[in-house]
Structure formats: C-alpha cells, structure tokens
Amino acid sequence: MKKALSLLLVCAMTFSLAACGSKESGTTTPAEDNSQTEADAQPEGDAQPEGETEAPAASDGAVFKIGGIGPTTGGAAVYGIAVQRGAQIAVDEINAAGGINGVQIEFNFQDDEHDPEKSVNAYNTLKDWGMQVLVGTVTSNPCIAVVEKTHEDNMFQLTPSGTAVKCVQYDNAFRMCFSDPNQGLESAKYIGENGLATKVAVIYDNSDPYSQGIYDAFRAEAANQNIEIVAETSFNSDNKTDFSTAVQSAKSAGAELLYMPFYYTEASLVLAECSKQSYKPVFFGVDGMDGILSVENFDVTLAEDLMYMAPFVANSDDEQVKSFVTKYQESFNEIPNQFAADAYDCVYVVKAAMEEAGVTADMDASAICDAMVGAMTAISYDGITGKQISWEANGEPNKAPLVVQIKNGETIGL
Amino acid sequence: MMGFISYLVNGISLGSVYAIIALGYTMVYGIAKMLNFAHGDVIMIGGFVVFTTVSGMGLPPVIGILISVVVCTVLGMLIERIAYKPLRKASKLAVLITAIGVSYFLQNVALLIYGSNTKSFTSVVSITPISLADGAIIISGETIVTIVACIIIMIALTAFIKYSKSGRAMLAVSEDSGAAQLMGVNVNATIALTFAIGSALAAIAGVLLCSSYPALTPYTGAMPGIKAFVAAVFGGIGSIPGAFIGGILLGVIEILGKAYISSQLADAIVFAVLIVVLLVKPTGLLGKQIQEKV
C-alpha cells in the first residue's frame, strides 16, 4: 500500500514537472525571440521595406499570432504533419522577408489526432495562447466541430484541406482546397467529356463524409454525362481491409472504370486486390489518392495509369512550386504532398488578405476577422495550388481543377 | 453461380484469418479467464517484424516468419509477466482495463518506431493463383495458404491439448485452476505457456492477414482483433473448435452479406446473427454448458 502510494506521488511529481517544462518551452519559441528583436528594431530602423504599414501597431513588440490545428499523431498524421511543415515554410519565408505589414508572424501548431473533441481542445489552447487567425483544421470532421467555435468567437478561419461542405458553412470560414461536391462534379465531368468510360463501378467509404460527399455529387452528375454506374460498394472505417467483394462485383458487372473517392491507404489495398483478380479497369481517384506513391514498399506498378484529381503536382515546372519543393526537401527530406502545398498557400493567402484589409497586430481576433472576411472576396492569389484563385463569400475557392496520372512511378499532369 | 463460389472462397479465407486470431483469444480466455485485448496488436507487431526482416533486411520469408513467431512469443510472455500476472488476484475489470492499456501501448510504440505512414506488405506467399472456369474464379495463393494454415493449426492445437502433458495441464487449469494447483499443476507456467502459444499464433495470423490485405499501419491489428473476439464469442469462448467455426462463419457471413444483401449493412448483419445465436444459445455455438460450482 505504501509502495503504491509513493509510486503515485512520484508519478504526480513527474507529471507536474513535465507540465512545467512544456509550458516554459512553449513561451520561448525562437520565432518569438526573432520577432521581438525585429519589432524592437523597427521604430528607429528605416530598413522596413513595407511603405503602407501602420507602423505604430508593431512598436510594442507585437506579432500576428497564427494558429494551426491538425493530426500530427494517429492514423491521419501524414496530413497534419505535411500541413504543419508546409505552413512553417511559408511563415519562415514571410518572416525573413519582413512579415505582414512589417509585423512578424508567430505560428503555433497543435495536434488533434483527427478527433473532433481533441480538435476543439486544441482550439481552446490556441485561443488561450492569443491566436488571431486560424489556419486549419486539416481534416474534415474535426474542422466541422471547430468551425462552430470559430463562428461563435468570430475568429477568421482558413482551412487548407477541410473539404466537407460544412467546414466553411459560416461567413468567417474559407477553404484553400476544393469542396467534396466540387470534386465529385469535376471528376464526373472529366470522365464524361474525355470519354474515359460509360460503365463505371464505385467503391466508397460511407462512414466518411469526404467520400460520401464526393460520391453523391458524382452520382448526380454522372447522369448528365451519360455515365452508367453499374456497381456500387461501400465500406466503412471498421471494415476496410477486405475489398475482394467490392472488386469482384465491379469486375462481374463489366465496369470499364473504377471510381475511388477515398484515401490512398485503402486505394493501395483495392489496387492490390484488382491485380490479384486480374481486373484492369481505368482507375480514377480523387485528391485523397495523393501520397500513394510514398507508401513504403508499395509496388508502384499496381498504380500505373491511375488518374486522380490533384491541385498540386510536385514536379511541375512552375517557379513557385519548384522553390517550395526544394525548400521542403532540404528541410524535411521528402517530396511535399498537396496538403503541404495547400498549407503553404494558406499562410500566403492570410498574408494577402491581411494586407488587403490593413489589419494591425493590436486588433483583436474578432476585428481582424471582420476585416479579413471582406478582403477575402477582393483578393486574387497566385500560388502553388492554382493561379488567380479568388474566393466566393460562401468560402469556396474558384480555381481550375487538375487531373494527374501516374506513369512509370511518377505523377504527371494531364 | 461462379460468383457465389468466388465469394464463398473469399469468405472462407477471411474467416480463416479470423479463426486463427480467435484461437488466441479463446485459449487465453479459457485458461486465464481474461480477455486479452492486446492480442490484435500482437498481430500488428508480428506483421511489422516480418515487414522489417523480409522487406527491409532482405531475409527469406521463412526466416522472417520464424523471427516474427519468436518475437511475438517472447512479447506475449512478457506482457503476461509484466502486465497481467501481478493482477491475477485483482478484479476482472482491472485486468480488462490493463489489457486495453497494453493494446494502446503497443500501438503507440509501433507509431513511434514506424510512423503513421502506411507500409505496403509484400506477400510472403509465392504460389501462383489457381484459375478455374476460364478465369471466372481466381483463387489466390494467399487464400490457399491461409485456409491450409488454419486447418493445420486447428488440428495441431487440438492434438496438443488432448495428448501432451502440458496440454492436459491447460485443460485442467481451465476447468478449475485451484484444484489443478492442488494436483501439482504449475498454474503460472501453464498460463505463461498459453500466452506463448496464443502470441505465436498471432504472429502467424499477422503474416497471413498482411499477405492477403497488404496495408500495414500501427492500427492494422485492432479491427481484425475485435472481429476475431466476436468470432470467439460466436463459437463459444473457451472452445477451440468453436473459435474455428465461429471465425469461418463470421468471414463467410460478412462477405456474402456484403455481396448479396448490402455492403452498407455487412457489419450489421454479422452482429445481428451474433445476437440471434447468443439469444438461442447464450454460451455460443460450441460453448460448454454452465458448469459453475456452488
């Protein structure tokens, strides 16, 4: 009994120490140090390139506090980590170039493990930290939960990759990526207009609003495009290892194209199953397919000729893309995916909207939000996930969709 | 008709994996009277060991599987020794919660070591698929190996328990551990042996699972583990032939339900069948009659 008690005490002590440690390390980020010196230097320094800034705002060492939320652990960690890294590159670039309106950015990214409840907790943590603008959240379900909170607090929110319709259902929220229905609609159009197939089989995840949302829009548009859906199979988050039935029903229905509106982990299983059953339709996926080539030990020949909708191609000739990809590779030793690219663009869009609205660092989150919401519909942004992107008041971006194909283990734009 | 046979074969294959996992659950429950929820994650570890040794280090698959069996056996005994043995006299709920804790622990250790990115598992089976009826039915090598392995394991395990000394000791402990101890059976050693065998089976299940469904993540074992637990209850928990029959039936019902009724309702159908079976026969298909002594 005594032993247990002392053990408990030791545990409690370690925890409290650990908590202290993390708090301390949280308050002295290099970014803040950096901004402090920059801002201190500002009043007397004339080296600031930005002419139109409201200089007094930055006089007391103020910074723009931008928060980010996404899964950096758990099953969806790939996306959260990519977003965190992509955004960090943009923040570093902007800070090195003098910040937004001469004010440095401080960026704080919190883990939500792709869980709505934890996402709201992360949001509250960031609010306590003093966040003024939220770049996030990364995945749709948590995003839907967090947007309720940002709406209540009137906090400006720009999600890099929350594709569900409800992610931007309020005025304060915008998104960088395509919405789910938009992707479904565009892929049906693409298949129809390019005559890829008339008989299509669909496998989708009915436990995921992302997959379901895309498929609903696809099905609605398929009728207009003279596409017949000959087989339709669903799976769910508890039941996503066995695709033998799904592939077999697509095969026996004679589908020429297999539409796969879901993520690449399951896609790698579906492709393996198709090869096992020697079934070779045209494979067509959505942006969740991005990353399939980076699955460790994946036999890339299985994905040969796979087409999917993607806003970003890492080996494009575009100068902005090249520079981003080089920096990302230098820092993290891997090729960035579209989530990293979306996040990178997000931070620059926040910058563009802030400059358009002329917000200052001493404004509170709500005032910044009001100013930026107005500015969002006025800006036109050239980034790495599209050119001349503009936004509707409902939060949706206007940009051209891009279809890519995998050839010889590489992604090429079509 | 061809379609039906194909679905049936796929169902038996999936069911065989469930059955091998369920054997691990049912043995541990039968003897230690506890639900080892970490069993599914031992499967995942088994998969990762084979992935590392075969795909990473280039060892032949047979060696990889052997290493995996050894690692999982040791891991299973370690878990039992560290996490469960000190709680042998504690309430059943405490052990159950500990098992869930061990499960999360293993998942997160794998997450730390391997990261959350999906790994594609190279199948260890190199048998060419059998093509019947002009390619209308294709039975993959993995399917054949899984079914054969399941039957061999089932027979070997039954023989071991019936005819070997330690096997009979297991039987004795499962019936009445107190009396078994009085008769000179080393209860602790027997329980450790059970965990060893269960975990070795988990390693084999992991290899077969990942060969058939080649996406490996730290969460790979969790859902098949739960399904296999259902299979064990379905067949009558504690009964070895029950786990076998429960596993196969679960797989077949799942696949046929998906194919002919509704892919959305596949799980609901599986669990509806489970509920009906338990209503009619509360101990499961082959569960023993209640033998509580006063």
Which helix or strand (DSSP H or E) is residue A201 part of?
A: strand A199-205
The CA distance from A309 to A285, in Å, is 7
Nearest CA in chain A to B112: A73
Contact criterion met (CB below 8 Å) for B141 and B211? no
Question: pLDDT tens digit string along A374-398?
Answer: 999 999 999 998 888 999 889 999 8
ipTM above 0.85, yes or no: no
CATH number given to A59-178+321-398 = 3.40.50.2300
pTM, 2 dp: 0.74
Residue pointed to by tokens 């590779």: A329
β-bridge partners, A109 = A68
Closest by CA position to B114, among listed B60, B57, B48, B63:
B48
Q: Are strands B215-216 and B119-120 parallel, antiparallel or unpaired?
A: antiparallel
**From A73, A75, A296, residue closest to B120, measured CB to CB:** A296
Contact B116 A73 (CB under 8 A): yes
Provide the 3-class DSSP secondary structure of residue A170: coil
Closest by CA position to B146, among listed B12, B6, B7:
B12
β-bridge partners, A231 = A201
Contact A206 B223 (CB under 8 A): no
Provide the 3-class DSSP secondary structure of residue B146: helix
Q: What are B230's two structure tokens?
A: 């259902």
The 8 Å CB, 24+ separation contacts for B161-166 are B161/B240, B166/B190, B166/B193
What's the CA angle centered on A116, arms A115 and A119, to 5 degrees?
85
**Environment class of residue A384 by beta-carbon count within 10 Å: exposed (0-12), middle (13-18) or buried (19+)?**
buried
Contact B116 A78 (CB under 8 A): yes
**From B129, B214, B267, residue closest to A239, measured CB to CB:** B267
Hey, what domains does chain B have and what are their CATH numbers?
2-280 (1.10.3470)
B-interface mutation test, from A240, A241, A289, most B Cβ less than 10 A away? A241
Provide the 3-class DSSP secondary structure of residue B283: coil
Interface residue B120 vs chain A (CB under 8 A):
yes
Question: pLDDT tens digit string along A157-200?
Answer: 999 988 888 899 999 999 998 888 888 998 999 999 888 999 99
Contacts of B209 in chain A (CB under 8 A): 241
For residue B50, the distance in angstroms to the closest alpha carbon of chain A comes to 13
CATH topology assigned to domain A181-310: Rossmann fold (3.40.50)
The CA distance from B142 to B49, in Å, is 19
Interface residue B258 vs chain A (CB under 8 A):
yes
Chain mean position to CA A225: 30
**From A206, A241, A277, residue closest to B138, measured CB to CB:** A277
Contact criterion met (CB below 8 Å) for A307 and A405? yes
Which helix or strand (DSSP H or E) is residue A191 part of?
A: helix A180-193
Residue pointed to by tokens 């769910």: A236
Question: pLDDT tens digit string along A297-312?
Answer: 888 888 889 999 888 8
| Alpha helices in A254-318, H assignment, sequence order | 264-276
Residue pointed to by tokens 């038996």: B12
Q: What are B215's two structure tokens?
A: 């996406």
Question: pLDDT tens digit string along B156-214?
Answer: 999 999 999 999 999 899 888 889 999 889 999 999 999 999 999 999 999 999 988 88
pLDDT in tens, chain B (294 residues): 777 888 898 899 899 999 999 998 888 888 888 888 899 999 999 999 999 999 888 889 899 999 999 999 999 999 999 999 898 888 888 988 999 999 999 999 998 898 777 888 888 887 888 877 676 777 888 889 999 999 999 999 999 999 999 999 998 998 888 899 998 899 999 999 999 999 999 999 999 999 888 888 888 888 888 889 889 988 988 888 899 999 999 999 989 988 888 888 888 888 888 888 889 888 888 876 555 544
For residue B204, the distance in angstroms to the closest alpha carbon of chain A comes to 17
Domain with CATH 3.40.50.2300 in chain A: 59-178+321-398, 181-310
Interface residue B267 vs chain A (CB under 8 A):
yes
Contact B116 A298 (CB under 8 A): no
Which helix or strand (DSSP H or E) is residue A203 part of?
A: strand A199-205
What's the CA angle centered on A367, arms A131 and A117, to 5 degrees?
40
